[in-house]
């Protein structure tokens, strides 16, 4: 274990004015607080906070951060209180430690809720002080370095959290060195065989190409020296997890990777970066499509560099990363390199990191969500690759990969997103659900009377947009259904002869899985909660038999509707059980889309057409594009199936077969073997060799349909299978 004087000496190397007395007091205080506690390895527990503090000295952080690192587990794992820390070390250090303390003593419904609330508390503390993030990442790094002492089941969970949350968070803050080590350690425990295989291949490649790599480095130095560019050429080896992720993402073999080895060219000034690119491109052929300028357009985590790939000596592809020394420091240390708190200087003197500023904005935008939604949205917002788009005035908007124009609108401003009715992408009218690409210029058209459709919730990919849509939807639902729901509830209590009050309902919210009284009224008004269930939540002894309403005529798709309480239920003639859909009015005609239909397990929306009723579409239906500029017609509709019962639902597939005897029999037999039912078969000859067959099928759900398609594709007589979706 590190000695007291060793830690002090580490700090004094970069900060001769360090408060030695403060550091010594913290060392002794933490050691006494943890006393005889042991880690899973058998080492004294105090060795862990001491190593966390040592890791942070590598970032040259201030005395308060180092002290908080030594004390970071005292409130959580010892009798020490926040008040005691404030008294002994001051409010600043006490606040840092408190921000890192979990909420173990609170009562949560599930383990996932505990994790979500802990993560929420951590990010809110980070938004107040970036040093909380630095200590937490150092804490996670040391835990990962000693993970082999932890029992296997817990080991896998910790490694998964590291890969999903902490490594991406380090990357988002620009701390690439820390991110790489966290990813590699998590990869080693989650996929040990894949990790070992890639390590072996890297060793094999190193022994084979070692001389060539040295030759390339020497030639690079020589070429830059001839042009008078002072630089430092450093080799870079791609990390095992990055290699595996690229192989998985692009479905390529190890041998097909061209950027396992690369070189970083470090220069003094920005002008030298572009001059170095000129030298590289005039000396060796460049690889088309492999040039990226992150200096003129930095990444959101403040990363700046020029990336290019050339065909160098020995016809070897060589990736070059060209940057200044200052850029390199930010690339490796990220937010810590901005010296927000180093050497006693404050953010007022050095300026706030753009990555940290963006993180605070995201946290503020999501902070009104409950804990589990907060965790979900933050993962979506922080941990995805990005695309960069522009407003017509040239403002840069960074979004996760796969973001739509709706996400763009909410990134500009919440009011812009809520009022959006259309958009132009690169000057052309486009649907709001269009997925954006790098460099797109987006213009959002809005309407003051607009309310965002609830269906957007399943389309957007950013947590900010999703949170704003849900808030707006809640407000609209409250205005539309809240009053109606309250009337229904109050009448239900009158019929039951029971007393109703808001105070009684508030105590029953957990049993109704709602967070607020208004949510209950909205649910009742929308038909999502049965009024008798509200009575029963307050008075568990209450009993009421539900009765089905009168049958109504079948709609255009041949399904019969039953009005039951606040639900509209569709039933195929002669089939049971029924198919309930939430979010519809009982007196409105409803039909499924004429092509393809919709099956349970896939997201659906309703389109209200004046005079015709409501048509149900799967969310991926191409027909929805025709309604993109008519948001007032969109309705949020959801499946509500009885899992204990299985029913069949209509859909259509198009099968292209070889035009040979027995093809139809083989296809029909396969469909029958999967348990699907054939309703109609339509033939369409496409030539002497092939024919198309349209099957109107009945399946139980989307998994069943996918299984049918997968089985058909394996048949030798089948050329192609696709689902018909209007």
CB 268 within 8 A of CB 234: no
Taking only Cα atoms into account, the Rg of the chain, rounded to an integer number of angstroms, comes to 31
CB 404 within 8 A of CB 462: no
Q: Which two tokens stand for residue 424?
A: 């132009």
CB 530 within 8 A of CB 546: yes
Residues 6 or more apart whose Cβ sits within 8 Å of residue 502: 517
| Separation of alpha carbons 382 and 165, rounded Å | 9
Q: Which two tokens stand for residue 720?
A: 């192609």
CB atoms within 10 A of CB 439: 11
For the chain, the distance separating the N- and C-terminal CA atoms, rounded to the nearest angstrom, is 67
> Helix, strand, or coil here: 442?
strand
Among 20, 58, 77, 161, the active-site one is: 77
| Separation of alpha carbons 334 and 175, rounded Å | 4
Burial of 694 (0-12, 13-18, 19+ CB in 10 A): middle
| Separation of alpha carbons 386 and 499, rounded Å | 55
Among 58, 76, 343, 518, the active-site one is: 76
Among candidate residues 267, 270, 256, the one with its CA nearest the CA of residue 298: 270
Is 76 labeled as catalytic in the residue annotation? yes
Burial of 250 (0-12, 13-18, 19+ CB in 10 A): exposed
**Angle, to 10 degrees, between the axis of helix 47-57 and the axis of helix 130-145?**
120
DSSP for residue 116: H
Is 587 labeled as catalytic in the residue annotation? no
Question: Nearest 5 degrees, angle CA 537-CA 541-CA 542?
Answer: 70
| Separation of alpha carbons 60 and 483, rounded Å | 59
| Separation of alpha carbons 583 and 527, rounded Å | 7
CB 70 within 8 A of CB 53: yes
Residues 6 or more apart whose Cβ sits within 8 Å of residue 588: 568, 608, 613, 614
Residues 6 or more apart whose Cβ sits within 8 Å of residue 142: 48, 51, 52, 55
| Separation of alpha carbons 34 and 285, rounded Å | 61
Among candidate residues 491, 503, 494, the one with its CA nearest the CA of residue 538: 503
DSSP for residue 163: I
> Helix, strand, or coil here: 291?
coil
Among candidate residues 409, 415, 473, 406, the one with its CA nearest the CA of residue 448: 415
| Separation of alpha carbons 665 and 342, rounded Å | 76
| Separation of alpha carbons 464 and 468, rounded Å | 6
> Helix, strand, or coil here: 720?
strand
DSSP for residue 307: E
Residues 6 or more apart whose Cβ sits within 8 Å of residue 435: 402, 403, 404
Burial of 603 (0-12, 13-18, 19+ CB in 10 A): middle
Catalytic residues: 76-77
């Amino acid at each position: 274990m590190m000695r007291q004087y060793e830690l002090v000496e580490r700090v004094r190397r970069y900060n001769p004015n360090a408060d030695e007395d403060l550091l010594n007091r913290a060392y002794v205080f933490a050691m006494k607080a943890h006393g005889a506690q042991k880690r899973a390895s058998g080492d004294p527990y105090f060795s862990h906070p001491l190593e966390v503090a040592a890791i942070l000295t590598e970032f040259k952080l201030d005395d308060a951060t180092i002290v908080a690192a030594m004390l970071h587990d005292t409130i959580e794992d010892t009798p020490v209180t926040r008040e005691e820390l404030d008294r002994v070390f001051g409010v600043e250090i006490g606040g840092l430690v408190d921000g890192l303390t979990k909420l173990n003593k609170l009562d949560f419904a599930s383990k996932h809720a505990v994790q979500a609330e802990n993560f929420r508390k951590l990010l809110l503390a980070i938004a107040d002080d970036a040093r909380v993030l630095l200590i937490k990442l150092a804490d996670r790094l040391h835990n990962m370095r000693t993970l082999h002492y932890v029992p296997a089941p817990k080991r896998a969970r910790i490694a998964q959290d590291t890969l999903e949350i902490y490594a991406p968070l380090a990357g988002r803050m620009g701390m690439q060195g820390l991110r790489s080590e966290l990813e590699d350690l998590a990869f080693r425990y989650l996929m040990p065989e894949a990790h070992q295989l890639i390590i072996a291949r890297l060793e094999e490649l190193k022994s084979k190409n070692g001389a060539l790599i040295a030759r390339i480095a020497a030639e690079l130095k020589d070429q830059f020296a001839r042009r008078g560019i002072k630089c430092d050429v450093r080799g870079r080896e791609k990390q095992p997890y990055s290699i595996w992720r690229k192989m998985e993402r692009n479905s390529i073999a190890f041998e097909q990777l061209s950027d396992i080895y690369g070189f970083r060219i470090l220069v003094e000034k920005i002008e030298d970066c572009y001059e170095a690119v000129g030298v590289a491109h005039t000396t060796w052929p460049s690889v088309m499509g492999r040039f990226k300028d992150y200096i003129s357009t930095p990444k959101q985590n403040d990363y700046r560099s020029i990336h290019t790939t050339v065909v160098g000596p020995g016809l070897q592809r060589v990736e070059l990363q060209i940057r200044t020394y200052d850029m390199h420091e930010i690339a490796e240390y990220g937010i810590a390199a901005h010296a927000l708190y180093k050497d006693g200087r404050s953010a007022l003197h050095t300026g706030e990191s753009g990555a940290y500023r963006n993180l605070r904005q995201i946290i503020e935008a999501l902070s009104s969500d409950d804990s589990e939604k907060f965790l979900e949205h933050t993962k979506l917002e922080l941990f995805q690759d990005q695309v960069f788009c522009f407003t017509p005035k040239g403002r840069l908007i960074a979004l996760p990969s796969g973001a739509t124009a709706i996400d763009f609108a909410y990134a500009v401003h919440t009011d812009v997103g809520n009022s959006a009715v259309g958009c132009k992408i690169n000057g052309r009218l486009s649907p709001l659900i269009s997925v954006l690409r790098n460099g797109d210029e987006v213009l959002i058209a809005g309407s003051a009377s607009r309310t965002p459709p609830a269906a957007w919730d399943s389309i957007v990919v950013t947590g900010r947009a999703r949170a704003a849509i849900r808030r707006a939807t809640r407000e609209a639902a409250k205005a539309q259904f809240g009053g109606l729901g309250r009337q229904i509830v109050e009448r239900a209590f009158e019929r039951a002869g029971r007393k109703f009050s808001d105070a009684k309902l508030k105590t029953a919210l957990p049993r109704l899985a709602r967070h607020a009284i208004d949510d209950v009224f909205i649910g009742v008004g929308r038909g999502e909660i049965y009024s008798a269930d509200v009575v029963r939540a307050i008075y568990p002894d209450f009993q009421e038999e539900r009765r089905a309403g009168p049958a109504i005529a079948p709609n255009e798709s041949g399904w019969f509707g039953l009005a039951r309480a606040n639900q509209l239920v569709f039933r195929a003639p002669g089939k049971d059980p029924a198919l309930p859909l939430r979010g519809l009015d009982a007196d409105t005609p409803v039909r499924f889309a004429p092509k393809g239909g919709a099956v349970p397990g896939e997201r659906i929306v309703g389109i209200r057409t004046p005079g015709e009723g409501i048509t149900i579409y799967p969310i991926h239906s191409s027909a929805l594009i025709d309604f993109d500029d008519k948001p007032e017609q969109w309705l949020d509709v959801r499946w509500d199936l009885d899992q204990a019962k299985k029913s069949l639902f209509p859909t259509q597939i198009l099968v292209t077969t070889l035009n040979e005897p027995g093809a139809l029999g083989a296809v029909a037999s396969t469909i029958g073997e999967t348990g699907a039912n054939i309703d109609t078969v339509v033939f369409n000859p496409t030539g002497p060799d092939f024919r198309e067959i349209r099957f109107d099928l009945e399946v139980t759900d989307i998994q069943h349909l996918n299984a049918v398609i997968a089985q058909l594709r394996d048949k030798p007589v089948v050329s192609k299978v696709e689902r018909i979706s209007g």
